A and B are shown apart, each in its own frame.
Chain A
Amino acid sequence: MSSGRYFFNLGYRFISSFGLAVATFVLLLIITYLGTVAQIEIGLLKAQQVYFESWFFIEDFAYFKNNMESLEWLQGKAYPKLLLPGGKLLLVVLFFNLLIGGIIRLRRKWHKPGLIISHFSIVVLLVGSFVEYRKADRGNLKLDPKQTADYFTSYYDWDIEITKAGAGPGDEALVIPYEQINYLEGDLSRTFRSDKLPFDVQVSNYVINSQPNRATASPGAGPAAKGYYLEVGEEQKEAEMNVGGCKVSLLKPGTSEPLDEGILWGLANAPMTAEVGGQQFLVTMVRRIWPLPFAVRLDQFEFDLHPMTRMAREYTSTISQIEDGAEKTVIITMNEPMRDEGYVLYQSGYGPDNAQPGDPNAYTVLAVADNPADYIPMISCIMVGIGLLIHFAQMMVQSIGGRARNESPAAAAAAATKSAAGSSPPMPGAAAPSATLPTDAPDPAP
């Protein structure tokens, strides 16, 4: 055998091995536990990024540190730091392990169709999850009574949008996406250039959770410009509560000569305006917006509380879906979303906080998802259920069949002979162990 083939076989056997599967399950179990308890300290979104969307991460046991500090003997003790594989790596390994070990290698065992089906369904689920992770967009849409909208906004992503003054709907806007500015903390800056703009845009001092204040004698710790500064707030565990902000400088193209500068803040009432080359531009920081292929109008929003409580019993939005001039009425309520053209609109919340049932000013909040893999989990669920049922039913039939054979007179006689030969006394009615189950029992005497 050539060494190439030898190593290929070795790799093939390793990637498809039970050992790798078990190790992956155990490591996934550990990081799932760590990622769960870490949410108390760092919130869901960050835990998700650190533990489940990473290739590797360093565990510092912050949760345990904070919970054990009341124990005197642990106070001041250094906790170890561990490098662990992240969820992304483990799921990729699991995917190949399942594909090669659970389907390709197992294909010869057609007498075990249940196993192949269930493995295949998990592969499908992992593929679906990957598609969702890479391609799905999620956000929400707040609709006041009678308001119409054909877009939805992100929960977390704050983009910078640049438009010409006086631009209307449908006019072009230049966008600097969140992913390209969210790491520009402190003095770190990045300059963006477009042929369509008579200036370059330099972004710096990005603050994850910020609050603008008028600069006084002591301007605070954040970036400052034009008499305002951004106060650096504590990063919220609930990431959607963070309001981004940064400093922007408009530069003469290809140079570092400033033309204008300002502070951008996610919830600012008005955009930053700048006049360059005799034309006025608006620069704003907004939650990312995705277009919907149709418009929706809130016709009616109803919500109800359990009597004499503040617990919601039901909330329902009656909306008109408007597309190409045609309207149709759709009802969206809890657990019953609207699905159309690959988009799903869910009943998510309502406001304002003090709204009472019957309030004509109550608005609805719809969660919106554009997820190409929306149906894959359901297909996978049905398949995995069928697969496991077939497999375990097969096992049960085999086990009962084996038991019947073992309890036949001939088997009983054989057992009695064996018992008389000095092994432990037989238990009345006890079944012989299945030949397929390895045991820790001492090897029989030769």
Chain B
Amino acid sequence: MKMIRQLIACTCAAAALAISLPAGATDFTKLATYEPWPEATVEAFRSIPVQEGGRIKPMDAWAQFKLLSMNAKRSLWIEAKRPGDDEPTKFKIGYNEWALDCFFRPDIAKQQKIFDVKDYDALTRLGIELLKDENGQTLKKKRDRYSYHELFTTDREIENVRLNELETQAERIRTEKSDQADWTSIEHVIIGLHEGVTIFDHMVRSFAFARGIKVGPGAPEWLAPAEGGTVRFQEFFGKTQQIAAWVDEYQQAKMAESMEKGILPKDIPSEEMIPEPIRASFDRLQFSPMLLLFPPTDPKLDEWESFAALARNVDRNTEGGSDRLMKYAGLIEDIARAPVAESAAPVEALRDAIVAKAEERTHQTPPHNELRTVNLEVAYYKADLFYRSINIFVILILAWAVAVLTRRDSKVSKIATRIAFWGTLVPVAMMITGMTMRSIILARPPVATLYETLIFITTASVIVLLVIEAFDRQRIALGGAVFLGCIGLLLSGAFEVTKSEDTMGTLQAVLMTNFWLATHVPSVLLGYAAGIVAALISAIYVAFKLFGRFSGQPTRFTRDLTKFAYGVICFGLLFSLVGTVLGGLWANDSWGRFWGWDPKENGALMIVLCFLAILHARLGGYIKEWGLHLSSLLTANVVLFSWFHVNLLGVGLHSYGFTSGLKVALFISYGVFLAIFLVGAVLAFLDRIDRRRAKELRNAEKGADPGPGGKRLANA
């Protein structure tokens, strides 16, 4: 018994250590120098409100999911000399710093290795040559990170060819295969790279104008650049009419000259129709519509505007449009022109201007309280409660391992047990706090997306296991709690990276009902949690039975496990049955029918049926200990099917829940539970043989035929 516990504890401790060890950072971006953005700049930048996905969020949220979608990480490593460094050092920058680089130092951003390419064969297909050493071996791993310059070079012509090829291939894949399920892995990489490069290009273009408009030699005197061959945007834009007249004059002359040469105007290359001195200026005047940063002036509108929209509205002679454009352009130019060390003040000024305008809208009719939770969201991401909970769980796993590895009545074991038990309340409190913050930010229960269900189910499972531990004090439920907490949060983090989308997205109209979100969804999720916890207990049962074959059967203990699994299944039935019927009531109010055999509804029903079958089979005596645990392990697969797999089927009314990219993880999970089930089934078979042998032995020892009465007794 002791050996089993020690073995399990050692395994868990080793796993915990493996989790806690920092992953080796290999994707260093090597730069000659890098001047980090001051903390005050980053603080001001992260709280700039921006609109995306139908809601107002802080730049902190905007930037992190942009980097995550390209880089599969929220930070990147740089090796460079910082001001004051004698030698290059290695350091990490976060997503806000990266976004600042993209907006205001694109030349540096283009050298940062942020494009996570999962298979370099995709690059070969795009005609991108990989760097090779003198032996012809590629310097990159099959999955590696690349900078923009590594992919597209600094040569403008090569860059254009490669970008066009990427665009063409991505377009072809999307046209030929409308269903993502038909894409090959290489095609997924190409589409991912195309999306990443598109976002990056938009970011780099967003404030390119702020670095000055390039004007070459030969420009009229009134447009001559004052410094570095550039003219300030405000100055350039203020002379729009003059420039237009000049361009018009130039074009007339050009056409007349061409006509004299017998060339029709339509045959003149389009770039030649623009005067040479300002041809390069177009690079910095291609505004991006992606970053919706500016609150609208019309109180009837909800849509914030990009810089591109501001510029467009000036063309349409919108009232006051020019003033707004010039005001914001000036603020953005101030950031671009300020030395990095002094960038905090202009960033704060830009943020304050946007915030002031948004706050002004709270007093308009109709009022728009758009900044209600922006600061709370910044605090949420800064606190990073779920990630920090993982670290605490790792410590708690170690404490639990110490408790189990030492003698139970020793002081060390008692202290370690207490640390593990009471310490678990800390991450539980953190997870509850995190969910509460999400709930306030979103003004709804935090259970409407798959990511949120992962957090909710993890928290609920840990609490259920802690309650079991409080009654049982065998430290097994405690082990399950800390381990499940850690795994659940790791999975939610992995899910977030896989999706790389804002996890606080807006909801469809049908989901915008707090009553049903607060009743039906948590009930069903508690049913899921019960199914997973029961399966975990059953897995522990199988492990003890397996190791018990070598070190004696801990019968009483395994019977306790059976009781817990039974209790959790009862708990699960209550919540899944009530939750499923509540779901029907919701459907009756929104879709006009109680039950429509929709895949998600069927999934919930299948869990209820599993629980009902187990409990009735148990009551009827058809299954005993082994039967209960084996069916509980199968129920886990039904829970996985209902929780995730129905979202992959692509049919049904619960279309807001569709997700892709989870298939592999899902099938691995099925496989794990099935493998434990099979091991359990073999052990159950062996147990059965043992019992039969023991009975025969007893009968033989008695040396007499037990007779009809004895037989009845033996079978009782």
Residues of chain A whose beta carbon lies under 8 Å from any beta carbon of chain B: 17-19, 21-22, 25-26, 28-29, 32-33, 35-37, 39-40, 43-44, 47-48, 51-52, 125, 128-129, 132, 138, 237, 305-309, 311-315, 334-337, 344, 346, 348, 367-369, 371, 374, 377-378, 380-381, 384-385, 388-389, 392, 395-396, 399, 403, 423-434, 437-443, 445-446
Contacts and interface: CB of A to CB of B under 8 A. Distances in A.
A307 B581 contact: no
B238 interface: no
B589 A125 contact: no
B557 interface: yes
Given A22-B620, A312-B509, A369-B593, A439 B625 contact: yes
Nearest to A375: B588
B509 A308 contact: no
B39 interface: no
A439 B624 contact: yes
Given A21-B616, A22-B620, A25-B613, 13 more contacts: A18-B620, A19-B622, A39-B649, A40-B649, A44-B652, A132-B594, A138-B593, A308-B54, A312-B508, A334-B509, A348-B592, A424-B553, A430-B556
Nearest to B605: A32
Contact of A18 (B302, B516, B622): B622
A389 B512 CA distance: 29
Contacts of B51: 307-308
Given A344-B592, A440-B684, A36 B602 contact: yes
A48 B595 CA distance: 11
Contacts of B513: 334-335
Nearest to A136: B593
Contacts of B691: 440, 442-443
Contacts of B142: none
B392 to A, nearest CB: 26
25 contacts: A17-B620, A18-B619, A21-B616, A22-B616, A22-B617, A22-B620, A25-B609, A29-B609, A33-B602, A40-B649, A44-B597, A307-B304, A308-B304, A309-B506, A314-B512, A334-B590, A369-B593, A384-B581, A389-B574, A425-B1, A427-B560, A437-B563, A438-B621, A443-B714, A446-B702
Contacts of A138: 592-593
Nearest to B706: A446
Contacts of A37: 649
A32 B609 contact: yes
B589 A336 contact: yes
A424 B597 contact: no
A315 B509 contact: yes
Contacts of B229: none
Given A18-B616, A39-B599, A306 B588 contact: no
A440 B562 CA distance: 11
Interface in B512-566: 512-513, 516, 552-557, 559-560, 562-563, 566
A431 B560 contact: yes
Contacts of A314: 509, 512
Given A395-B570, A439-B624, A441-B559, A35 B597 contact: yes
Contacts of A396: 567
A442 B625 CA distance: 12
B578 interface: yes
B390 to A, nearest CB: 30
Nearest to B573: A388
Contacts of A313: 54, 506, 509, 512
Contacts of B652: 39, 44
Given A314-B512, A392-B570, A428 B408 contact: yes
A277 B44 CA distance: 88
B592 A25 contact: no
Contact of A334 (B52, B473, B512, B650): B512
Contacts of A403: 471
Contact of A306 (B54, B292, B563): B54
B: interface residue count bin: 35 or more
A381 B510 contact: no
B624 A438 contact: yes
B603 A442 contact: no
A311 B613 contact: no
Contacts of A384: 577-578, 581
Interface in B281-295: 292
Interface in B616-644: 616-622, 624-626, 638, 641
Nearest to B687: A440
Nearest to B642: A36
B578 A381 contact: yes
A22 B627 CA distance: 13
Nearest to A445: B698
Interface in B59-94: none
B302 A431 contact: no
B557 A430 contact: yes
Chain B: interface secondary structure?
helix
A377 B619 contact: no
Contacts of A445: 698
Given A309-B53, A437-B566, A427 B557 contact: yes
Contacts of A48: 597
Contacts of A389: 574
B562 A439 contact: yes
Given A309-B506, A433-B563, A29 B620 contact: no
Nearest to A48: B597
B694 interface: yes
B250 to A, nearest CB: 38
A25 B302 CA distance: 51
Contacts of A32: 602, 605-606, 609
Contacts of B592: 138, 337, 344, 346, 348, 367-369
Contacts of A377: 581, 584-585, 588, 594
B544 to A, nearest CB: 12
Contacts of B621: 18, 438
B276 interface: no
B154 to A, nearest CB: 35
Nearest to A128: B594
A132 B592 CA distance: 12
Given A337-B592, A367-B591, A430 B622 contact: no
Nearest to B510: A334
Nearest to A396: B567
Contacts of A368: 592
A308 to B, nearest CB: 5
B620 to A, nearest CB: 3
Q: Which 3 A-B pairs have the closest CB atoms?
A: A306-B54, A18-B620, A25-B613
B27 interface: no
A419 B55 CA distance: 66
Contacts of A306: 53-55, 506
A307 B574 contact: no
Contact of A29 (B599, B606, B687): B606
B695 interface: yes
Interface string B463-480: 000000001111000000
B571 interface: yes
Nearest to A102: B616
A374 B588 contact: yes
B610 A29 contact: yes
A47 B597 CA distance: 9
A378 to B, nearest CB: 6
B578 A388 contact: yes
Contact of A381 (B304, B585, B598): B585
Most chain B CB atoms below 10 A, which of A29, A129, A445:
A29
A373 B292 CA distance: 49
A17 B702 CA distance: 37
B582 interface: yes
A384 B582 CA distance: 11
Interface string B296-322: 000000111000000000000000000
Nearest to A25: B613
Nearest to A41: B651
Interface in B678-711: 684, 687-688, 690-691, 694-695, 698, 702
B597 A52 contact: yes
